[in-house]
Chain A
Amino acid sequence: MSKALLSFVSVYALLFSFQVHAGAKDDFINAVKKQCGKSDADAAALATPGRAGNVIKLKTCSSATITVGDCTLQCKDASSSIGG
C-alpha cells in the first residue's frame, strides 16, 4: 500500500508542475462569487483592501463565518485540512 502510494506520487511529481494558488484577493472574490452568487464586479467591489478590509478579514478569520455586506462567507482553516 505504502510503496504503491509513494511510487505513484513520485511519478506524478515528475510529470506535472503547475502554479496552483491564487492570492488573497482572488480567493476572496472567488469565495464571494461562489458562496453568495455575486457577479465579478460586485465581488470585486466587496474586496476592500487594507488591514481592516474585507479581504484580510476573510484571510484572518477565526470564527465559523464572517459577513461582508449582505454576504456571509464560510471561514476556512487551512492548517486543519489535509491537502488544502
Chain B
Amino acid sequence: MLKKIIVLSAIAASTFGTVQAQSLEERVEALEYAGYENWWSFSGSLEYRYDSVETTHNKAYTTNTFNGTSVARTAGEKNSTKHHRVFTELDIAATPSKKLSFYGRLAMSKYMNTLNKGGGSYIGDGAFNELGEGQGADNSKIFFERAFVNYSFTDNLTFTVGRLPTIDGAPKHFQENRPMMGQYPLLVFGGVFDGMALTYANSFNGHAVKFRGIYTPFNQRDIGVTHKPMSNTAGQDIKENVDAYSLMAEYEKTNMSWARRIHLIYQYLHFGGLDAFTNPNASTAQASSTTNFNVTRHVLNLEVNGIANTGLSLGFSYLMGNIKGTGDFQTLGTWYGTSNTDLDGDAWIANLNYEMPFQVLRKAVLGFEYINSDDDVFLYDTTAKNKVGLYTGRGGKSMHVFWMQPIDQNFKFRVGYQKSENKKTNFLGGYVGTPLSIDDEATAFYSSLQFNF
C-alpha cells in the first residue's frame, strides 16, 4: 500500500512539474515576443556612399535651366566629379490595434559638409549654416519621406491614406538586396505621392492576388493665396486639383518546382491637365504659363527568385507610355516640343542577381542591370542615388554591375560600376521646348557602406 502511494505521488509530482515547466516556458516565450510586439517599433539604416563620376558630351548643345541659366556644352567636353554622401532612414511602425497600422520614415540625404550650396550666393541651408543644422536656431524642419496608415476593414480589404511609399520601387531593391522598397515600380513614377488607396488581397490555393486603386491628387495652388485659384498668363483659372490615379494588380506564388517565388505587377497610371510651371505671385496669384501635361502609362514588372533552386533571380520591367503637351511656357514651347505634342515612349529594365552559394561569402550578391529607353519616353526618378542618370536617360542604353558583400547581419558593403547614355533632351530643363539630339555619356565607380539597425 505504501509503495503504491509513493509511486502515485511520484507520478503526480512529475506530471505537475511538467505542466508547470511547460507553462513557464510559454510565459517566457510570450514575454520575449511582447518586447517585439509593442505598439511602436523603430528600425532604420545608414549609408555612406562615394561616387566617382565622369561625364562626356560627344555633341555640342545649349540648354536652359528652369531658373533661366544657360548651359552650353562643347563637343568632347569631359568633367570629373567626386561625391561623398550620407543617407539615413529612421523607420517607425505602430500597430495600436489589429486593424490599424502606421508606417513613417524620417529621412536625411545629404552631401557631407557642403559649405557652398548656393554656388557662391547665400542660401538659407548653405554656407556654414549646415554645420549647425539640428542644433542651430534656424527652423524646425523634419522631413517625413513616408507617413501613412493602413486600416483593414476585413481580412481582405485595406484602406490606406497619407504620404505613400511610391518611390524606390522595383527593381531598385535588386541592387540593395532588400525586400521591395517601394510600391510603384520605378518605371511608373519615381516620386513620393500623397494620397489614398484601397487594396483587396486574397489567396487561392497558394496564388496570392492583390488589386489596388490609388488616388493621388496634385495640388496646384499658391499656398500664400488660398482664397482663390491661380490663373495662367491667358487669364484662365488653373485646376486646383489634378486627378492622378492608378490601378494595380499584383500576383505572387511561392514554393514552385522551378523557382522559389514569382511576383508580377501590372500598373496603370494617368494624370492630365498638370500645369507644373507655375510661378505664383502672392499679389496676383498668376501662373507663368499655359502648358498642360498629360501622362498615361502601363507598366509590367516581373520578378522571379531562386530559379532552379539556385541563388539566381531575374527581374524585368516594361513601360509603355504616352505623353501629351499643350500650351506654351514663356514662348519656348510645351512638354517635349515647340507646339502641341502627342508622343509614345517605351522603356525597359532587365535585372539579374546571383547570390553566391559559398558559406564563406555570406550570401554575397553579384548583380547586373540593363536599361533601354526610347527617345520620347518620360522617365522620372527624383530620389536617385546614382549620379549618372541611370534610369532617366532618353534614347540610350544604360548598365550597372555591382557586388554586394554582407559583412554580418547588420552591415553590407557594395561596389559598383554604372554607365548611362542620353541621346535626347529638350531645351528647357530637359522637358520643355525644342527637342535636341545629344550624345552624353556618364560613368561612375561607387562604393557604399550600409548599416541596418
Instruction: Give the B-binding residues of A (Cβ under 8 A).
Output: 1-2, 5-6, 8-9, 12-13, 15-21, 23-25, 34-37, 49-51, 53, 55-56, 59-65, 72, 74-84
Contacts and interface: CB of A to CB of B under 8 A. Distances in A.
Contacts, number: 149
B312 to A, nearest CB: 13
Contacts of B105: 79
B153 A13 contact: yes
B213 A5 contact: yes
A84 B183 CA distance: 10
Contacts of A35: 254-255, 260-261
B180 A80 contact: yes
A62 B406 CA distance: 11
**Residue among A23, A50, A53, A63 with max Cβ neighbours from chain B (10 Å):** A63
B98 A13 contact: no
B153 A16 contact: yes
A74 B153 contact: no
Nearest to A38: B255
Nearest to B406: A63
A75 B182 CA distance: 14
A40 B400 CA distance: 43
Number of chain B interface residues as a range? 35 or more
Interface of B: 29, 32-33, 36-37, 43, 45, 91, 93, 95, 98-99, 101, 103-105, 146, 148, 150-155, 157-160, 164-166, 168, 173, 177-183, 196-199, 201, 206, 210, 212-215, 217, 243, 245, 254-255, 260-261, 305-306, 313, 363, 406, 410, 452
A2 B243 contact: yes
Contacts of A19: 98-99
B32 A75 contact: no
Nearest to B156: A20
Contacts of A2: 215, 217, 243
B178 A63 contact: yes
Given A35-B254, A77-B180, A83-B160, 17 more contacts: A21-B95, A21-B99, A21-B152, A24-B33, A35-B260, A62-B452, A74-B254, A74-B260, A74-B261, A74-B305, A75-B179, A76-B179, A79-B165, A80-B179, A82-B148, A82-B164, A83-B198
Nearest to A50: B32
A84 B152 contact: yes
Given A35-B254, A83-B197, A64 B214 contact: no
**Residue among B45, B104, B168, B215 with max Cβ neighbours from chain A (10 Å):** B215
Nearest to A67: B363
Given A2-B243, A84-B199, A64 B173 contact: yes
Contacts of B217: 2
Given A72-B306, A74-B261, A80 B43 contact: no
B179 A12 contact: no
7 contacts: A5-B213, A20-B98, A34-B254, A56-B36, A75-B178, A80-B180, A83-B160
